[in-house]
Amino acid sequence: MSEFENAGPSATGAAPQLRTWDFAETLLVALLADLAFMLTGGTALKSLILNFGGGEALSATELQEVWLQGRWQGTGIILGAPAVILVLWIAIRMARRGFSEYLALNWPSGGEVVRALLLMAIVLTVEMVLLSVVGSNGYKPGPDLIVRSAAGLFAMLIGSCIVAPVVEEFVVRGFMFRGWSQSFLGPNGAIVLASALWAFGHVQYDWFGRFNVFLMGLAFGYLRASGNSTWLAVIAHSAVNTLVYFSVGPYV
């Protein structure tokens, strides 16, 4: 670990050492959080489909097809989220830091939220202009999800528009930004690299779609850094996802 910081006197009179995970350690924890999400969410999803979906054991290809059903995708995200939070909590406690403090879970002001939403509107407008200029065959701003009921739509929206933004921003703009911004990268480098890795992980999109995700990641990173608030990035992320999911409907 690196980045020792003083925090005020301890019972013995010496200042306790607060640590920030260094570049490599931050990346390792983020990968472990992603692995925990895939294992727990995927396992829980397979179990639910087997017991309540009327299906048998599914192959990876079949599971990917089922993932396009909104109720299962939303449920899988919800079930996988606690494992991610647990990994982050353990890592932060190992660094002897507070969870909220390390992730900059500071609630933004109303004015900051308004400015964040305006920034999202600008970024979405730029992305639409780019799409009209360069074009992208078959590109859609969201996946082709299948929702057959109101319950399925509810599960999809909760998972994709609330839980997913919280989990992703806690990891990327919260944990990764904290460690990388205090490394050789600095804040700007941390924003760019974290956004690039985040975009690369969106394998459901083509390269143009991933570029759009990268641009959005830069905006989220700017909000996190300028407002010292990961919640501000969560709110902006949730607003964008909600707009996208309603704009690509109707679901069948």
Q: Report pLDDT digits (tens) over 14-62.
A: 555 678 999 999 999 999 999 999 888 777 777 766 665 555 555 666 6
Q: Tokens for 126?
A: 């730029």
Given a contact cutoff of 8 angstroms between Cβ atoms, the answer to whether 142 and 244 are in contact is yes
Decide: helix, strand or coil at residue 69: strand
Fill in the DSSP letter of residue 146.
Answer: B
Residues in the chain: 252
> Is the model more confident about 18 or about 64?
18
> Is the model more confident about 145 or about 128?
128
Given a contact cutoff of 8 angstroms between Cβ atoms, the answer to whether 205 and 213 are in contact is yes
Task: Report d(CA 39, CA 133) in Å as an integer.
Answer: 40
Average pLDDT over the chain, rounded to an integer: 83
Q: ω before 9 within 30° of 0 (cis)?
A: no
The amino acid present at 87, given as its one-letter code, is V
pTM, rounded to two decimals: 0.84
Task: Report d(CA 87, CA 40) in Å as an integer.
Answer: 12
Could you tell me how far CA 252 lies from the centroid of its own chain? 26
pLDDT in tens, 94-142: 999 999 999 999 999 999 999 999 999 999 999 888 888 776 554 555 5
Task: Report d(CA 82, CA 197) in Å as an integer.
Answer: 22
Cβ-count burial 190-217 (b if 16+ within 10 Å, e if not):
bbbbbbebbbeeeeebeebbbbbbbbbb
Fill in the DSSP letter of residue 54.
Answer: S
- For 11, 61, 153, 186, 202, the CA distances from 197, given in Å and listed in that order, are 42, 24, 29, 16, 9
Looking at mean pLDDT, say which of 24-33, 63-72, 152-161, 240-249 comes out highest. Answer: 24-33
Question: What values do phi and psi take at 20, rounded to 5?
Answer: -120, 130
